[in-house]
Structure 1
Amino acid sequence: MPEPFTTPLALAGINHHIADIATLEAFRFPDETAFLHEARERFRGALLLQTCNRVEVLVQGDGRSLEGFLQEQGRGGFTVFEGEAVSRHLLELAAGIDSLVVGEDQILGQLKRALAAAEEAGTASSVIGLCINKAVHVGVRVRRQTQINRGAVSIGSAAVTLAEKLLGTLRDRHILVVGSGEMGLLVAQALAAKDLTAIYVANRTYERAVVLADKIGGRAVSFKDLYRYIALSDVVISCTAAPHPVIRTEEIREVMEERLWPLDQHPRHLILIDIAQPRDVEDGVRAIEGVHLFTIDDLRSINDAAMGSRRSEADRAREIIDEEVDHFTRLLRRTAADETLALLYTWAESVRARERDRALARLGEKNGRTAEVIDDLTRALTKKLLSDATAAIRASAEYGDIATAEALMRAITRGEPCSQNDE
């Protein structure tokens, strides 16, 4: 019995549309490799995408199975997509119109890294690879044919915009960037365009802080001096990949005592912008006088402003996505058809080998050359006889005529009629 000419796909997870940062943090999977290994036991393919704004799982399987799997993992409150909705969601995601900051480019790299992790874990089936590569391709096309990524288009640049909004201006300010990864680079690049008095860069690996600081004309500082430089700064933007907070409440309390001059009644204000996931800053700092903590949730206002200026570009992106969804669906059907056609060729090869052996037995010859010629002949005949039939089956499946594709398969492998009259 041939496999169905369909590829079941399901995607589930949460994102900034339905969850705040605390919910996202609780939903995350700290050990991505272990998660993928468990998923490998349940699904033909699986991919885990975890960013600042979303945790989503894509599987080659059905939605009910994925829902049950995530519930077994202790997760709830997620949304499940199946079928064409998965394709559309992936394309909107890669295009940047589903992002917290509309049009941001970082999602393309994040999708590629998620696929690389799935490949390393052995969960990147051909279908999963097709989905991600197609999504990235469409994301690039959208950015090439629209201006959706014009302006502040990353969480990092949005954090800088927020800091500027809070202070009125960044001119002559002291800014500390904690973390020198991709997000730290985006923050630093956005800050470099401002007329700052000083940009400090702190990272656990000092050499990496030096590299980033050199790129933007800042100053690298040792991580052991972190709180000293927090005390000197007007704004701290933290974006490390640490699994636990690196800016703690008690240390910040001491920092604020340093920021209180003898004749002042209140300490100088300190703005902490935490764009890490998991969070870098302990929530307890909110209770300290003079400290103002902002997280990814607070960047939604930046996105709302950006969306106003990019609405027409997002509409154009959706037009492109509408075009691409149909093509995406045909690609998935073709992939499913090719998997099913592999069974047809396996069946044909068994018939060919059996009849070849019978012919050689009837000839009663032990001549190796004769066996070679007959083997080549039967192989060529099988390929030619199946060529037109497989093309018809593949085309039928690709354009959604599954009944015809299945009827053709049964007619070839079982001798069943392609159609039956009721009369």
Structure 2
Amino acid sequence: MPESVTTPLALAGMNHHTADIATLEAFRFPDEAAFLREARERFRGVLLLQTCNRVEVLVQGDARSLEAFLQEQGRRDFMVIEGEAVPRHLLELAAGIDSLVVGEDQILGQLKTALATAEEAGVCSSVIGLCITKAVHVGVRIRRQTQINRGAVSVGSAAVTLAEKLLGTLRDRHILVVGSGEMGLLVAQALSARDLTAIYVANRTYERAVVLAEKIGGRAVNFSDLYRYIALSDVVISCTAAPHPVIRTEEIREVMEERLWPLDRHPRHLVLIDIAQPRDVEDGVRSIEGVHLFTIDDLRSINDAAMDSRRCEADRAREIIDEEVGHFIRLLRRTAADETLALLYTWAESIRARERDRALARLGETDDRTAEIVDDLTRALTKKLLSDVTTAIRASAECGDMTTAEALMRAITRGEPCSQKDE
């Protein structure tokens, strides 16, 4: 029987299981900071995870409120989960089971980055922080205890595998990587592992292209020369963070004219692999003779092959997840109990400080030693008086009974009865 989560948690969004790349692109939130600020007005904690193949929003709040909020943001047809399904989903995500390429490791860094962004924006509650920290911890454990990421490919290296599959071999081919961020690095590393000699790197910031090219023994090129090097290349893998296409249809049409020698009937083939989100390449290039455009949607075949080879490891990972879900939920319950206890101790501290000051005033002029003794006495009494109820509240919360935990607190702080019979 599934254990209930006492802290309200909800997660909504889209991923490669439910949407194609165009739908994901339309669902994205280009201004993450603005989105987080608006969401913080509605929820106690918020986290936005945006990767090449998923856009998901995690909140400390209920599913109905999250669904309504996203609809107000103009988003439709997204999945929503809540309760026990949320920690399980986060564990599967961190394990790499839910990734486009099964077993990939990049999701761990992406979760950490999303958490850091939420913390920087001041929208990360203790519950949200616990969720991501726990998920990453379990993800690391699964990779240590299984071989789910043995020979695993990232989206970047899957793009290289796709190019190799299309051309038979990449040896003696000219490869251009557009973009030098995290994904560009993954692509470049996958290319260099194949011992290629003609790898070019283009980036809007030339210095960053130089750094990446040096790492892989390639050559950096100026972004202003982008189309010149596209004309020289057999494969272009584009993965920039630009908010708009950087490889346009009309310019590629001109490029293909350069690739047509006088006696040739058809231009030399050009393979464009676009793994950016939003997309880097205008879809219109598909209409140009000799151009072959592939996107993240085309990498699903690479994932299927990876899944076949790692199915047993994925099953082992799920066993670990089944074990960890219960612990995850108990951690969430303890956090809920701590929030309730924080209110209780704040109430008690205000009374303690007031009565201490009254006692010191009745004593008249006192030295520092006497004041310290009175302060220590009131603190010790408060702690002892709350000891048993603290234990009771924590025990109720860890059993999933926050109703009793909150009733105990109200009974102490407001004098309300712990239970009321129906009249």
1:375 aligns with 2:363: no
Superposed counterparts of 1:2-401, under 5 Å: 6-360=6-360, 363-369=362-368, 370-401=370-401
Cα distance in 1 for partners of 2:267, 2:420 equals 87
Shift of residue 150 of structure 1?
1.5
- C-alpha contact (below 8 Å) 2:162/2:299 kept by paired residues: yes
Shift of residue 358 of structure 1?
4.7
Cα distance in 2 for partners of 1:247, 1:420 equals 68
Shift of residue 416 of structure 1?
6.3
Q: Tell me the amino acid that sits aligned with residue 98 of structure 2.
A: D
Cα distance in 1 for partners of 2:194, 2:417 equals 74
Cα distance in 1 for partners of 2:96, 2:290 equals 36
- Residues 13-47 of structure 1 deviation map (CA, whole Å, 9 limit, x = unaligned): 00000100000000011110111111111111111
What SS is found at the alignment partner of 1:293?
strand
Q: What TM-score, normalized to structure 1?
A: 0.94
What SS is found at the alignment partner of 2:117?
helix
What SS is found at the alignment partner of 2:268?
coil
* More divergent stretch after superposition (376-385 vs 55-64): 376-385
Cα distance in 2 for partners of 1:224, 1:403 equals 64
Shift of residue 128 of structure 1?
1.0
What SS is found at the alignment partner of 1:220?
strand
Shift of residue 50 of structure 1?
0.5
Cα distance in 2 for partners of 1:136, 1:295 equals 28
Cα distance in 2 for partners of 1:44, 1:302 equals 39
Q: Tell me the amino acid that sits aligned with residue 100 of structure 1.
A: L
Cα distance change of structure 1 residues 70 and 419 upon mapping to structure 2, 3 Å threshold: closer
Structure 1 unaligned spans of 5+ = none
Q: Tell me the amino acid that sits aligned with residue 224 of structure 1.
A: S
Cα distance change of structure 1 residues 415 and 230 upon mapping to structure 2, 3 Å threshold: same
Shift of residue 221 of structure 1?
1.0
What SS is found at the alignment partner of 1:272?
strand
- Residues 83-123 of structure 1 deviation map (CA, whole Å, 9 limit, x = unaligned): 11111111111111000001111111111111111111110
* More divergent stretch after superposition (268-277 vs 219-228): 219-228
Cα distance in 2 for partners of 1:119, 1:307 equals 34
State the percentage of identical aligned residues: 88
- Residues 342-382 of structure 1 deviation map (CA, whole Å, 9 limit, x = unaligned): 11112222332344345445x45232444443232111111
Q: What TM-score, normalized to structure 2?
A: 0.94
Cα distance in 2 for partners of 1:166, 1:263 equals 25
- C-alpha contact (below 8 Å) 2:6/2:401 kept by paired residues: no
Cα distance in 2 for partners of 1:8, 1:47 equals 14
- Residues 203-256 of structure 1 deviation map (CA, whole Å, 9 limit, x = unaligned): 111111111111111111111111111111111000011111111101100110
- C-alpha contact (below 8 Å) 2:340/2:406 kept by paired residues: no
Cα distance in 2 for partners of 1:226, 1:398 equals 59
What SS is found at the alignment partner of 1:17?
coil
What SS is found at the alignment partner of 1:253?
helix
Cα distance in 1 for partners of 2:229, 2:160 equals 18
- C-alpha contact (below 8 Å) 1:170/1:195 kept by paired residues: no
Cα distance in 2 for partners of 1:42, 1:392 equals 31
What SS is found at the alignment partner of 2:330?
helix
Structure 2 unaligned spans of 5+ = none
What SS is found at the alignment partner of 2:103?
coil
What SS is found at the alignment partner of 1:263?
coil
Cα distance change of structure 1 residues 39 and 411 upon mapping to structure 2, 3 Å threshold: closer
Q: Tell me the amino acid that sits aligned with residue 240 of structure 2.
A: T
Aligned residues: 417
Q: Tell me the amino acid that sits aligned with residue 297 of structure 1.
A: D
- C-alpha contact (below 8 Å) 1:152/1:158 kept by paired residues: no
